[in-house]
Amino acid sequence: MAKAKKSIYFCQNCGHEESKWLGQCPMCREWNTFVEEKVTVSKGTAAKNTVREAEVVTLSSVSTDQEDRMQTEIEELDRVLGGGVVPGSLVLVGGDPGIGKSTLLLQVCKRLSDQGRKVLYISGEESLKQIKLRANRMGTFSDHLLLLCETNLETIRQVIEREHPAVAVIDSIQTMYSEEVTAAPGSVSQVREATNTLMQIAKGLNITIFIVGHVTKEGTVAGPRVLEHMVDTVLYFEGDRHASYRILRGVKNRFGSTNEIGVFEMRETGLEEVPNPSEYMLNGRPEDASGSVVACSMEGTRPILMEIQALVCRSNFGMPRRTAAGTDYNRVNLLMAVLEKRVGLPLSNYDAYINIAGGIRMNEPAIDLGIVMAIVSSYKNQSISPGTIVFGEVGLSGEVRAVSMPEQRVAEARKLGFKTCIMPQVSKDMLKKIEGIEVIGVKSVNQAMNLI
């Protein structure tokens, strides 16, 4: 067949393609994200003999037995994956450069190879010596771990078909290229083709493949969002790479929940699990300081306690300044409007700075009452008892609404030594009696303020 080249414009943010350049992407509404790429198009139709017959089955004949999952022996990762690694799945691990993606996957390779499973680690960014230097900090690796430094997809396919490992790691997808695509490695066309090839290998040979995807600081390389609809599971590393902790969050999972998170701490020997993130987040909390409140948020089935800090001071300009770090900025403005209208606090002349200590980001409505109490505490310059924990959703009428799973939140607070829990009255009525902690129910923000 004759082949011709033509230009197609891809959105670097979402992967949408157009036949001409546009200033704004019609899908993701981002500006100046379209890039031109030359693609090869075959002229003519495919032969009829290439079409195979499809087999149809009845719904009752489909087995619902769960497939055996491979345990990575990293409990935080297994929880996010939904109980372990599913054979034949395609998992994307995304995040900024230097966040710890390669370190985590190398630790996964170590744990799985120690179980006697054949693991193939394919690197397109680092040499064998660089991988060896990182591996020396993690301990001794077994001979079941195989290394390959290659970026050609055709060569990688041959190696995987020959070795047939149980797990393969591609680090990273932006460095892989196919000779059938004329675009440069890292472009949207190459990333799509590489992911499609790896998906065929994973499903055809029943091999679990982990893909590392990252974006540059300038955002010029196609990001992993282009791949999210093609893979089975999407995991994202969050957190400042200059800080010691990392949060692994599942944003897509065909084999489990997307509400779970895993907390890790970066150490010299690699990423260490943080089995109790609440205690970790509350380390160094000041005592008898105004504007500091401990709240509780649920991430999947795990309650996480965090310190919410607020600093309210009189504004020197006509327009007060509002700043929110770790939570939704618009939500903070909404809560401050509720305090001014329903409670009568003159906050329109005050600057407000809200921060969730530790750099963690939480958007659950259950932390509304904690933000409100922190703002009131800072405004009145009255400290809240360090043994008190607060949670509840605040409505526009100033009412405190119920939250999900209050029993797990109270149990976590009691385990960490808190003596008093301020929560919605509706949730308290549904709560069983828990020894060792005093539970106080409130119906409105006014009742909660009177407890300070």
The verdict on 271 and 288 lying in the same domain is no
Could you list the residue range(s) of the whole structural domain that residue 76 is in? 71-275
Q: What is the mean pLDDT of residues 92-97?
A: 86
* Domain CATH for 204: 3.40.50.300
The verdict on 216 and 358 lying in the same domain is no
Annotated binding residue 318: no
Domain for residue 135, yes or no? yes
Asked which of 247, 275, 303 is the last residue of a domain, the reply is 275
pLDDT for residue 280 = 80
Burial 372-403 (b: 16+ CB within 10 A, else e): bbbbbbbbeeebbebebbbbbbbeeebbbbbb
User: Using 50, 70 and 90 to split pLDDT, how confident is the model at 269?
Assistant: confident
**Distances, alpha carbon 366 to alpha carbons 75, 122, 369, in Å:** 26, 43, 7
Annotated binding residue 96: yes
Annotated binding residue 368: no
The verdict on 180 and 76 lying in the same domain is yes
The side-by-side arrangement of strands in the sheet containing 350-356 is 322-325, 350-356, 302-314, 292-299, 388-390, 420-424, 438-442
The answer to whether 387 and 417 have CB atoms below 8 angstroms apart is yes
Residue 3, pLDDT > 60, answer no
Annotated binding residue 127: no
- Distance, in Å, from the CA atom of 390 to the CA atom of 301, rounded to the nearest integer, reads 19
Q: What is the mean pLDDT of residues 292-307?
A: 90
309-367, pLDDT tens digit by residue? 999 999 988 789 999 998 999 999 999 999 999 999 999 899 999 999 877 888 899 99
Residue 228, pLDDT > 90, answer no
pLDDT for residue 41 = 53
The verdict on 113 and 223 lying in the same domain is yes
The verdict on 233 and 290 lying in the same domain is no
Residue 163, pLDDT > 50, answer yes
Residue 50, pLDDT > 70, answer no
Q: Alpha helix (H) ranges present in 245-358?
A: 277-281, 329-338
The label of the residue with tokens 């607070």 reads 413
Q: What is the mean pLDDT of residues 286-297?
A: 91
Residue 407, pLDDT > 90, answer yes
Q: How many domains does the chain have?
A: 3
Closest CA to 233 of 437, 76, 84: 84
Q: CA-based diameter of the chain, in Å?
A: 80
Which residue spans within 172-289 are E strands per DSSP?
Answer: 208-214, 233-238, 245-253, 261-267, 270-273
The verdict on 164 and 254 lying in the same domain is yes
Q: What is the mean pLDDT of residues 23-38?
A: 84
The verdict on 98 and 227 lying in the same domain is yes
Annotated binding residue 100: yes
The verdict on 209 and 290 lying in the same domain is no
Domain for residue 58, yes or no? no
Annotated binding residue 99: yes
Closest CA to 312 of 357, 382, 375, 384: 375
* Domain CATH for 326: 3.30.230.10
pTM of the model: 0.77
- Distance, in Å, from the CA atom of 202 to the CA atom of 167, rounded to the nearest integer, reads 9
User: Which helix (H) or strand (E) element contains residue 162?
Assistant: helix 153-163
256-266, pLDDT tens digit by residue? 888 888 889 88
The full DSSP string for 295-325 is EEEEETTEEEEEEEEEEEEE-SSSS--EEEE
The verdict on 139 and 242 lying in the same domain is yes
Domain for residue 264, yes or no? yes
Q: What is the mean pLDDT of residues 363-388?
A: 94
Annotated binding residue 95: yes
User: Using 50, 70 and 90 to split pLDDT, how confident is the model at 186?
Assistant: confident
The verdict on 147 and 226 lying in the same domain is yes
The 3-state DSSP class for residue 133 equals helix
The answer to whether 165 and 116 have CB atoms below 8 angstroms apart is no
pLDDT for residue 48 = 46
Q: Which of 49-53, 290-294, 350-354, 447-451 is least confident?
A: 49-53
Bridge partners, 302 (sequence order): 299
Domain for residue 53, yes or no? no
User: Using 50, 70 and 90 to split pLDDT, how confident is the model at 219?
Assistant: very low
